[in-house]
């Protein structure tokens, strides 16, 4: 299975209007991001985040930027309600219309990040967890990747965490193909083709560590079809 081409903010808004499966509205097929798989991915994210917290993720402020309207979002809402978290979902109005909010603790923020918004302004310095799940590679083609992530930091509280999930790494994919084809190791030239790769992702690690953050790369769970070519990046305040 090959990765889909990247689509932009407006494309996702158009997909959200269609009568298709939730997974298809975020650019995946149903087999890849089924309800069962998304539940595994949400639980995997929560386990990773909890590892860096002094206590489990409860009574927290969570900001999901580019939340989408997939099963993943629904499971995140369920978890947030059960743990009394305040969950803020930021995406286009078209996407947010697909999301039911069963609790006053779940707030929709329509718009394209970064932006000026009263709700967002009220969150400066108060967010325990920022989620950028399956988002960054779409940002890469339209914005400065580093500036985009930096613009989220002001919302973190003193011990906040940024979860940058589901990063497609073209270098990982090439290594997997080399192993599968039993070819000799060779370095692939993939810079400048609009894809994330080892060079860009490791530059992110180095950049934010240089500014005093702890940064960790972590694997995706095996049931996920792209576990061989995608990974998570977690940024924590020291």
Name the helix (H) or strand (E) containing 172: helix 170-181
The phi and psi torsions of 122 (rounded to 5 degrees) equal: -70, -15
CA distance 238 to 142: 30
Domain spans, the chain = 9-237
Give the lowest-confidence range in 51-60, 95-104, 166-175, 212-221: 51-60
The phi and psi torsions of 53 (rounded to 5 degrees) equal: -100, 150
At residue 232, the pLDDT reads 97
Overall CATH class of domain 9-237: alpha beta
Pull the structure tokens for residue 29.
């097929």
In tens, the pLDDT along 173-227 reads: 888 765 545 444 344 333 334 589 999 999 999 999 999 999 999 999 989 999 9
Is the entire prediction scored with pTM above 0.85?
Answer: yes
Give how far the C-alpha of residue 180 lies from the chain's centroid of Cα atoms, to the nearest Å. Answer: 28
At residue 178, the pLDDT reads 59
Which band of pLDDT confidence, cut at 50, 70 and 90, is reported for residue 1?
A: very low
Beta bridge partners of 161: 129, 236
């Amino acid at each position: 299975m090959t990765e889909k081409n990247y689509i932009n903010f407006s494309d996702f808004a158009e997909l959200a209007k269609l009568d298709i499966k939730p997974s298809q509205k975020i650019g995946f097929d149903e087999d890849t991001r089924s309800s069962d798989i998304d539940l595994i991915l949400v639980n995997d994210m929560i386990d990773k985040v909890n590892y860096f917290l002094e206590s489990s993720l409860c009574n927290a402020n969570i900001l999901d930027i580019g939340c989408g309207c997939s099963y993943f979002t629904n499971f995140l809402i369920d978890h947030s309600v059960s743990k009394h978290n305040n969950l803020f979902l930021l995406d286009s109005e078209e996407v947010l219309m697909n999301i039911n909010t069963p609790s006053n603790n779940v707030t929709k923020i329509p718009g394209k990040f970064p932006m000026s918004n009263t709700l967002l302004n009220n969150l400066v310095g108060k967010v325990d967890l920022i989620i950028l799940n399956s988002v960054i590679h779409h940002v890469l083609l339209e914005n400065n990747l580093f500036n985009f992530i930096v613009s989220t930091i002001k919302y973190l509280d003193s011990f906040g965490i940024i979860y940058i999930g589901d990063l497609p790494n073209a270098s990982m994919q090439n290594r997997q193909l080399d192993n599968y084809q039993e070819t000799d190791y060779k370095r692939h030239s993939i810079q400048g083709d609009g894809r994330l790769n080892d060079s860009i992702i490791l530059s992110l690690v180095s950049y934010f560590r240089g500014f005093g953050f702890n940064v960790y790369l972590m694997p995706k769970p095996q049931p996920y079809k792209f576990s061989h070519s995608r990974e998570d990046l977690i940024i924590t305040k020291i």
